[in-house]
Amino acid sequence: MKHYAIMLVGSLVIPVVLSACGGGGSTASQAPQKAVAVMRTTQLSTPATPIAAISATLTIPNGVTVRTTTSDPYQPDTTVVQLLNASAAGTAAAPTLVFSRYSAATATTVGKLKFTVMDVRGFTAAEQIAITLDVTSGFYPTSSDFGLIDYTFSDINGAILTGISPTLTATIQ
């Protein structure tokens, strides 16, 4: 009888314990690793007044960071802000100059990436500014967490162009 009781308890306990073992087939989604913010304008250039410089500030939520150079934690890596030619499968447009400066988000403030992209040829409608950011493990930003502020458009002589509004699309990957 004692032997029967042990077998009964064992046959009830072992399946319960084994059912709790993970099989590695988790269907939970992967945590995002990067965010790509793309800035476009409805009209990047007109023949009469081509846009030669775009300056803007991208607001960045907590948990999203900018890859910086090893020598300066405020200087973004050269691959962070790029002018891309959308019609040529995302290839970098040349010649362009990019200047940028980064301040990280805190618990009470958003991060900011100030950037200026210049191209003396003028921007074409096929070009867009792509900004690649890193997402810290455990954070799940949404596209609405990003924003553009303080943007200006200038011509080749430095004159401010008015009537141009950018759009921002952020993709979390």
Pair 10, 151: CB distance under 8 Å: no
Residue 19 within a domain: no
- Examine residue 120 and state whether it is found in any structural domain, yes or no: yes
Q: What is the pLDDT of residues 25-78, one digit of tens each?
A: 444 567 779 999 999 876 555 556 778 899 999 999 999 999 999 999 999 998
* pLDDT at position 2 over 60: no
Residue-level pLDDT at 139: 92
> Which is higher by pLDDT, 28 or 150?
150
Q: Does 79 fall in a domain?
A: yes
Euclidean distance between CA atoms 110 and 158, whole angstroms: 29
Identify whether 71 is part of a domain. Answer: yes
Give the domain range for residue 91: 31-172
Q: Is residue 24 part of a domain?
A: no
Please check whether residue 21 lies inside any domain of the structure.
no
In a domain, 8, yes or no: no
Note the pLDDT tens digit of each residue in 90-147: 555 556 788 999 999 988 999 999 999 998 777 766 678 999 999 999 999 999 999 9
Beta strands (DSSP E) in the chain are 34-41, 53-60, 64-65, 81-85, 91-92, 97-103, 111-118, 127-135, 147-154, 160-161, 166-172
The count of structural domains within the chain is 1
Q: Within a domain: residue 81? A: yes
CATH number assigned to the domain comprising residue 66: 2.60.40
